[in-house]
Chains A and B, each alone.
Chain A
Amino acid sequence: MFDQYEHEHLFVDGVFSFNNNKSFYKLSHNHLGEFSLEEKKSFSDITNDTSIPLWLIRHSLGVSSGEEDTSSFIRVPKKDYNYLEERSKELELALIDKSSIRNLIYNGLKINLDVGGYSHAVGPIHAGIIEPGHFRFFVKGEIIQHLTIRLGFQHRDILNKLIGKSAISAIPVSETISGDSSVAYSTAFSKIFEKAAKIKVDDDLEIIRLILLEVERCAIHIGDIGAMAGDIGYYPLHGVCATDRGVPLGVMEALVGNRFGKGGVFPGEVRLNKRLKKEALKPIADNLYKGFLRVEYEFLRAVHNSTIRERLQECGNITRKMVRQNGFVGMPARCTGIEMDMRKFETLYLKYYPISLHHTDENLTGDAWSRFYLRYLELKASVEWLCKMIPEINIESSGRGIHLIQSISKFSPGIHYQLVEGWRGPVLVVLQISKDGTIQNSYIRDPSVLNWHALELAVRGELIGDFPLNNKSFNLSYVGFDL
């Protein structure tokens, strides 16, 4: 029954406006991976379209409106407290007037307090080594009734900074959008410029890009598994993961010369490490596999012999209904058992050795445990694929230079877009490129834009003490949201 629905479902990827809000665009794709870019005439067309998640509109089209005062909206919380799940009420909160909507930047926040409850503000500077954001909890006893997340502390005005940049100068900027997804963003930017310049890239090069993407995924997944174990105080797994996260980072360093793959992917090229030799590839793959085995051993031991599973189950639940209503993407969508992965439209994954993407395990029920376990499944699939593919890297195909795109003077002007499945989910980059190959307008949507709302919903009814664990189970990007 669910699958039937899934086939009719439209995945809205992004909403944006170019040219001073004169034209609005909605980018979406269906289950076959066919994209459509719709132009909308007015702002109300966007807000009336119920298929567009509200956070998407608030992120790209929202305006600053001073301090938010939601105290009159929030009624006394009851057990079935779900006003935010109804779109009309959600709109009521967000709309300033008919032509503008509130953005998600922190400008002060007023929340109504119920008798017996208290408000708990966290941030911008958090206790751990993480990025800044403002979280306002509404707690009764130990139970979170409501959470409001407001970000924007790291706003660097990237979208305006990109205007007028050429292909070569835009790539370093793209790598700073979210440092842990550097490869995903630089790949998306590169593919857009290749489309505009009509460069056909060798399959060998495309495969190196996919390899770098998977290495990035492995590094973060190992780190997250360890961090979640650390948050519930299970240190054997935490220790192993914290150390062996260095293995994929080391693989990345050996392949491109930077632990985060920065400076690796350029339009038309992949700049492999100059010190990389063909005979070193097999040991690199073996090393990665050994590192994975250490993590796997410790993971399975933790899962079988400790109460880690029971601790994580039924913690931070999200449902398929929430995913469909709010357009969650990436891991929060997949952890409920929905197969939503842009990699299945990438035929190159199948060319030599197929990667396993169908994780329909009975464990995937939408709780913190399912996100923990899904990371292991994805890690395992990626490592198996990498161990087959890394020794196949064609080192000669790497240009090891950045000259190719510079030799092209004619670009096809227009709006180009690209979705790349990073480890967090699909990252969307839309660029309007002029004839001479410079960027005129841009829109960037990190998967976190949609998924921050998933965290807000997931922690309702959970213990306040479990918040770090729930937050880590999503591990969203603050800086990719703030831009």
Chain B
Amino acid sequence: MGLVELKKLFSPHQSLDFEKVSFVNANARGIPAPIVYSENSKCDTCKKCSTQCPTSAIQVLSSKEIQFDYGACLQCGICEDVCPENIIKDTGFNYVFSYNRETLKIKFTNGQFTPIEDSPTENIIKFQKLTSIKGMKYREVAAAGNNSVECELNASFNNFFDSEGNQASSVASPKHADAIVYSGPVSKNMEGPLQTAWDCMPEPKALIATGTEAICGGLYPIGKLPSLPDLYIGGDPPRPDVMINGFRFLMGKWKFSFQHEVFKRIQELRAIGQKEK
């Protein structure tokens, strides 16, 4: 018995290195984007993607303009299946998070867009001063989320993802917490408890919307939030590594720009498409 423990002590650690992480998972579906784009598409008459999307995350504005709201995207891949011209493709990109809600919306004009930088608000800068070295403690409030986010948050404490090693840990009371992580569309009966939890936290504090349902309600109408979230993490549910890197991003331990990385990924996929031709 002792030998087993001794062997484990000297074997290399298995946890993920969050500095060298890939934004694209080998297996997981990611966000969709118009990868293959032709000048004479019939998007304005087809609109199948926008009508079939469960959360109406896609808006076809004209034959040339199409807007994706990645904050509302469940990453279900239905739009890719229904697109008759195979314009929309799964990018496999999972790292959907930003400080601002607007950064998660991308408008493609002729299949192109200009990425914008994600700027932290004043509150986030204050929050980062507190947490960038010491790390943060958070309190999780399940506000009508479908318990998959809770499963993934629990998974983030295992020895592969190692949330505590990355200085994001969970505490029992909001009074001891720097941030509130909430999941789900905030049902009517959870509005009060969420507000109470938020009110008894000391300043500076942050509100983290975890999962698509927490950002925009997903399939349900979103309830009243105690404040505007400081970090939006998309996905249904977000993978544990996405959440931990999101927390590191909020703490200012890690540089990331959602739109720039999506831009790079799309260029990469188009280059692969060109080669295959």
Contact = CB atoms under 8 A, between A and B. Distances in A.
Contacts of A301: 1, 4
Given A274-B90, A402-B81, A402-B82, A260 B148 contact: yes
A228 B248 CA distance: 30
B189 interface: yes
A280 to B, nearest CB: 10
A442 B213 CA distance: 23
B172 interface: yes
Interface string B175-192: 000000000110111100
Contacts of A348: none
A132 B146 contact: no
Contacts of B184: 154
Interface stretch (A20-28, A71-79, A245-253): A245-253
Nearest to A301: B1
A124 B174 CA distance: 13
Interface in A118-143: 124-125, 127-132
Nearest to A269: B81
A169 B151 CA distance: 25
B62 interface: no
B76 A180 contact: no
Interface string B73-90: 011111001100000001
A386 to B, nearest CB: 17
Contacts of A131: 142, 145, 147, 150
6 contacts: A124-B193, A129-B142, A130-B142, A154-B184, A242-B159, A259-B28
Given A130-B150, A242-B158, A179 B141 contact: no
A249 B148 CA distance: 12
Contacts of B239: 259
Contacts of B25: 253
A358 B219 CA distance: 40
A273 B27 contact: yes
A275 B152 CA distance: 23
Nearest to B188: A155
Nearest to A158: B220
B148 A180 contact: yes
B147 to A, nearest CB: 5
A56 to B, nearest CB: 22
A402 B193 contact: no
Interface of A: 124-125, 127-132, 152-156, 161, 168-169, 172-173, 175-180, 182, 223, 227, 239, 242-243, 245-246, 249-250, 253-254, 257-260, 262-263, 271, 273-275, 301, 305, 400-403, 477-479, 482
Given A179-B237, A263-B76, A156 B27 contact: no
Nearest 10 Cβ contacts at the A-B interface = A179-B148, A179-B146, A257-B29, A242-B158, A127-B172, A263-B76, A154-B144, A172-B54, A176-B146, A131-B142
A106 B173 CA distance: 22
Contacts of B14: 243
B158 A246 contact: yes
Contacts of B158: 239, 242-243, 245-246
Contacts of A156: 144, 185, 187, 220
A348 to B, nearest CB: 26
Interface of B: 1, 4, 14, 25-29, 52, 54, 74-78, 81-82, 90, 139-155, 157-160, 170, 172-174, 184-185, 187-190, 193, 197, 213, 218-220, 236-237, 239
A9 to B, nearest CB: 31
A271 B154 contact: no
A164 to B, nearest CB: 14
A40 to B, nearest CB: 31
Given A156-B185, A156-B187, A172-B54, A402 B78 contact: yes
Q: Which of A161, A258, A301 has the most CB of B within 10 A?
A: A258
Given A131-B147, A257-B27, A301-B1, A168 B90 contact: no
A467 to B, nearest CB: 15
A178 B237 CA distance: 12
Nearest to A123: B193
A172 B74 contact: yes
A153 B190 contact: yes
Nearest to B140: A129
A324 B225 CA distance: 44
B187 A154 contact: yes
